[in-house]
Structure 1
Amino acid sequence: MSTTRRQAIALAGVFQAAATVDSLARTGQHDTTAWRTLIDATLDTEPADFESVYGGQLSHLQLGLDTLRRTLDDPSHNAVIARYAMAMLMLMHRLRRDKRMMTTLGERLARVRQQAGHFGPVHENVVASLGELYQDTLSTLPRRIVVQGDPGLLQMPMMPERIRAALLSGIRFAMLWYQMGGRRWHLIFRGGLKRQLDELTR
């Protein structure tokens, strides 16, 4: 698999997280496969290989691939989702410079993985722990992500935790994108990215 293709897949993960955040905030619903893929990727901090991050099936990232492709075709489409995705990339860069926070995330994710081994990865206790981890770490960085949506839904039990868990997963895929050589200028000169997405979404 080429480096550019890996970058496209990782960036699709970021957009899948952004689309999930938007759907939760506006409708209270989420795509089951997309959600499970995001949570699994967050918990798997030491994957056997690149494909393991998303379960080795591109269909697991279909929401992200479709959303990213539509956004590149028409930047005005899904402007809120695009804003969330770009904010996740910016937060990832801030996180990379904070070694203490990186260590904290690694240590606490190890404990959440143990919790997931007992309850299952998408159990509410696990999601609550992931949401709390995001709140204690990434949400303390400058330019925190402000989520727009239905005020009633945003105040429902577990909704803040679900949204924060999805944001954490977006940061995880943003980090993967960076590790694969992804840089923000690639989003400006995006011909190679669009070609890869054309092939991935055929």
Structure 2
Amino acid sequence: MNRDERQALALAGVFQAATVVDELARTGHTNERARETLIRATLDTNPETFESIYGGQINNLRLGIDTLEGVLTRQQASPNVMRYGFSLILLMNRLRNNEQMMSTLGERLTRVRGQADHFGELHDNVVASLGEIYQDTLSTFRYRIVVQGDPSLLQSRHMPEQVRTILLSGVRFALLWHQQGGRRWKLVLGRSGIRRALQSLDH
């Protein structure tokens, strides 16, 4: 896999998070494989390989790949999903410029990793802890992501931490995208290159 393909996959992870957040907020349900891939990627703070971050199966990011394709071609992309996706990248840039928050995030994710080893990666306690990390760190920036959806769902038990956990996952993939050389201007000027990379992944 070349660098362009890694960039495209990491960006697909960002838009997978954006789609999962939108689905949870509107319907209370989402693609479980997509959600679980995001949570596992967030907990894997020291991956052995790039591929291990998303479980080595490109189809674990299929929802994000399809969403990103829609964004790049300006088809079938919900305005909320687009807003969340680009907002996650903005939030990642704020985080990169805040060394103290980066180290706090690293320390707390290491602690939750221990919790996940005990309870299992997808346990409610682990999701609650990940959501708490997002609330205590990224949501303290003046720039915040406002999630829109069904108010009764968004206020229901366990839903706020689920949404925050997936937003944290989106920032994790945005950081990965940046580490692979992804830049915001490429989203504007390099759309065709990203599309080519996505298409080559499917062959």
TM range (shorter): over 0.9
Q: Is the 8 A contact 2:67 2:77 kept in 1?
A: no
- Mapped contact 1:65–1:201 kept (Cα < 8 A): no
Q: What SS does the aligned partner of 1:52 have? A: helix
CA contact (8 A) 1:66 1:201 kept: no
1:77 Cα deviation from its structure 2 partner: 2.6
Q: Secondary structure at the match of 1:188?
A: helix
Q: 1:112 — aligned with what?
A: 112
Question: What's the Cα RMSD here?
Answer: 1.0
Does 2:99 match 1:71? no
1:2 deviates by: 1.1
Shift in Å at residue 200 of structure 1?
2.7
CA drift at 1:173: 0.2
Q: Say whether the 8 Å CA contact 1:87–1:145 is kept in structure 2.
A: yes
Structure 2 residue 123 is the aligned partner of structure 1 residue 123: yes
| Alpha-carbon distance in 2 for matches of 1:182, 1:80 | 22
8 A Cα contact 2:88 2:171, kept in partner: yes
Provide, for residues 125-181 of structure 1, a one-character-per-residue CA deviation record: whole Å limited to 9, x for no partner.
Answer: 000000000000000012100000000100110000000000000000000000000
Q: CA deviation at 1:82?
A: 0.8
User: Which residue does the alignment assign to 1:193?
Assistant: 194
Partner of 1:163: 163
Unaligned 5+ segments in structure 1 are: none
Match of residue 62 from structure 2: 62
Alignment length, in residue pairs? 202
CA–CA distance in structure 1, aligned partners of residues 85 and 120 of structure 2: 27
Q: How far apart, CA to CA, are the structure 2 residues paired with 1:11 and 1:75?
A: 17
Q: Which runs of 5+ in 2 are unaligned?
A: none
Q: What pairs up with 1:78-93 in 2 under 5 angstroms?
A: 78-93=78-93
| Normalised TM-score (structure 1) | 0.97
Cα deviations by residue, 1:97-141 (Å, 9 ceiling, x for unpaired):
111100100000011000001111111000000000000000001
Q: Distance in 2 between matches of 1:163 and 1:52?
A: 24
Q: Which residue is 1:99 aligned to? A: 99
